[in-house]
Structure 1
Amino acid sequence: MIISIASGKGGTGKTTLATNLALALQRVQLLDCDVEEPNAYIFLKSEIKETKPVNIKVPKINNNCNFCGLCSKFCAFNALAVIINQVMVFPELCHGCGGCSLVCPKNAILEIDREIGVVKKAILKDIELVYGELNIGEPRADPVIKAVKKEIKNIGDKKVIIDAPPGTSCPVITSVYGSDYCILVTEPTPFGLHDLKLAVEMLREIKIPCGVVINRAGIGDDKVYKYCNTEGIPILLEIPYSRKIAELYSRGIPFVQAMTDWKSKFISLFKAIKI
């Protein structure tokens, strides 16, 4: 089973849920797809066993070029510009589709690898952690997220947990797409409700069933509860607004390790998921 964990906004507790759930369950592969700011490894404190580069193909112009400009006209992302006797390439804008080389009448465009990030693997007992790191300044997270998801091992009774980036943009859709179920983490505040609605609409569009975990329960109001009840969305778990949980978090300690009664609650959450 592949379970993704997402939210309509940042800071709701996705990684808190992902790491604690992984520690509570057995035989888990945890994928941190928040490649712009991965932090699951901070809480799992696992040793990196393998690092692999993530490359995309970008154009390189050779001496066959006659500066006809067809490549520049083809590129929807303006990664090439043809001026007098010169082709300028902007690799940061390139999406690696290879179309420019296909339309070139002189076979003057080669494709070379350009590293945009890495994928790292680590092991902690029966948890395999895979996470990506996007290079600083790179505009596109999707290729690194796809490289992380290529490592999925959905075999037998092994569970796969995907910690998605915040929001509802392309990196989030790339992360959750193909999941059997998505857990949305929210908080009982006006901002939490607003962004929860966006996330629910996104998942309904791509036809992924979902449930909700309410973090920092006890603050705010009851509008999130009313919304979930009206929309028929199950509330799988409530994590209270707790000083002790916050203190453990600030020390990089998953609270399921220090508050052992929570292990059974996370196992019950997993059993409550209905696909």
Structure 2
Amino acid sequence: MKIAVLSGKGGTGKTLISVNLAAAAKDAIYIDCDVEEPNGYLFFKPVDVISKQVSIKIPFVSENLCSGCRECVEFCKFNALAYINNKLVVFDEVCHSCGGCVLFCPEKALQEKRKVIGEIQKGISEDVTIITGILNTGEASGVPIIKNLLHDSSLPLKSFTFIDCPPGSACIVMESIQDADYCILVAEPTVFGVHNLDMVYELVKLFDKPHGVVLNKCLEGKNPAERFSIERDIKVLGKIPFDNQLGMLNTNALIAARKDEKYKAFFVSLLDTVVKEVLQHATAINP
């Protein structure tokens, strides 16, 4: 069962919930798709870590073959190619590795080479397999790394896979949730939190993913995010209080579900609720 955890911005508690659900499930894989700023490994502190590089193909030009026709320049919608002073220039930093320029070049002056854009690290923390994607600083897109993370045939068979998505609703988030069986939306109980919740809510609706929301940092009184969820018939899976004890555990990069019986019970219960939601959805579409 693949469960994606996402939020409209950083700092809502997305990693807190992903990490603790994986720890509560035990027989699980945790995949950190927040490749620009991964931090799940700080909590799990995995051992026996192995790394592999992730590379993409980018074009390079054989100047003696280039006729200056500019067909490749006109084709590239990312402006990764320019013809300057009678010379074709390739801007590696904005190339999206589509390969179209190579196909369109009538002189076969363009070929492809490999460029390393980041790495994937794999390790173990108790019964949880930890997979972390790391994008090199300055690279245009983390999508190739996320594709490698989610389609790695060497991953062990586990009952649960938890996908810690990047914040927001951009293409890297879309790539992260494509194969998810269920999406957990994480939101703060503020008006600003409603705006961010709406972003990811519209995204999961677009992908037709079953979903529910966890409300984090809850205080007594009005909760605009809860009201938003009720009005749109979004299942409220759980509410996490604004709690100093949890804050201290999180600040010290400790996993609450492993250190505190109260929060262990909470995340086990949250996982049970999500499993029931997934099974109910599966039954609804395949009665």
* Structure 1 and Structure 2 fold alike (TM over 0.5): yes
Aligned to 1:129: 130
When normalised by structure 2's length, the TM-score is 0.91
Aligned to 1:11: 11
Q: For the residues of structure 1 that align with 2:109 and 2:120, how far apart are their CA atoms?
A: 32
Count of paired positions: 275
Q: For the residues of structure 1 that align with 2:137 and 2:85, how far apart are their CA atoms?
A: 33
Q: For the residues of structure 2 that align with 1:83 and 1:168, how far apart are their CA atoms?
A: 36
Q: Does 1:61 align with 2:57?
A: no
Aligned to 1:120: 121
Q: In percent, how many aligned pairs have the same letter?
A: 39
Q: For the residues of structure 2 that align with 1:156 and 1:217, how far apart are their CA atoms?
A: 36
Q: Does 1:52 align with 2:59?
A: no
> Given the superposition, is the C-alpha separation of residues 5 and 105 from structure 1 closer, same or farther in structure 2, using an over 3 Å criterion?
same
Consecutive aligned runs of 4 or more in structure 1 exceeding 4 Å deviation: 152-157
When normalised by structure 1's length, the TM-score is 0.95
Write out aligned runs for 1:94-113 (5 A): 94-113=95-114
Q: For the residues of structure 1 that align with 2:248 and 2:262, how far apart are their CA atoms?
A: 17
Deviation at 1:54, TM superposition (A): 1.1
Deviation at 1:272, TM superposition (A): 1.3
Per-residue CA deviation, residues 155-184 of structure 1 (Å, 9 max, x unaligned), is 866200000011111111111122110001
Q: For the residues of structure 2 that align with 1:56 and 1:237, how far apart are their CA atoms?
A: 40
Q: Which secondary structure does the structure 2 equivalent of 1:261 belong to? A: helix
Aligned to 2:250: 249
Query: Contact conserved, 1:189 with 1:220, CA < 8 A, in 2?
Result: no
> Given the superposition, is the C-alpha separation of residues 272 and 220 from structure 1 closer, same or farther in structure 2, using an over 3 Å criterion?
same
Aligned to 1:41: 41
Deviation at 1:31, TM superposition (A): 0.4
Q: For the residues of structure 2 that align with 1:226 and 1:154, how far apart are their CA atoms?
A: 40
> Given the superposition, is the C-alpha separation of residues 78 and 92 from structure 1 closer, same or farther in structure 2, using an over 3 Å criterion?
same
Any stretches of 5+ residues in structure 2 without a counterpart? 279-287
Query: Contact conserved, 1:8 with 1:198, CA < 8 A, in 2?
Result: yes
Deviation at 1:222, TM superposition (A): 2.3
Opposite residue 162 of structure 1, the aligned amino acid is I
Any stretches of 5+ residues in structure 1 without a counterpart? none
Deviation at 1:266, TM superposition (A): 1.5
Q: For the residues of structure 2 that align with 1:133 and 1:71, how far apart are their CA atoms?
A: 31
> Given the superposition, is the C-alpha separation of residues 109 and 48 from structure 1 closer, same or farther in structure 2, using an over 3 Å criterion?
farther
> Given the superposition, is the C-alpha separation of residues 84 and 33 from structure 1 closer, same or farther in structure 2, using an over 3 Å criterion?
same
Query: Contact conserved, 2:133 with 2:149, CA < 8 A, in 1?
Result: yes
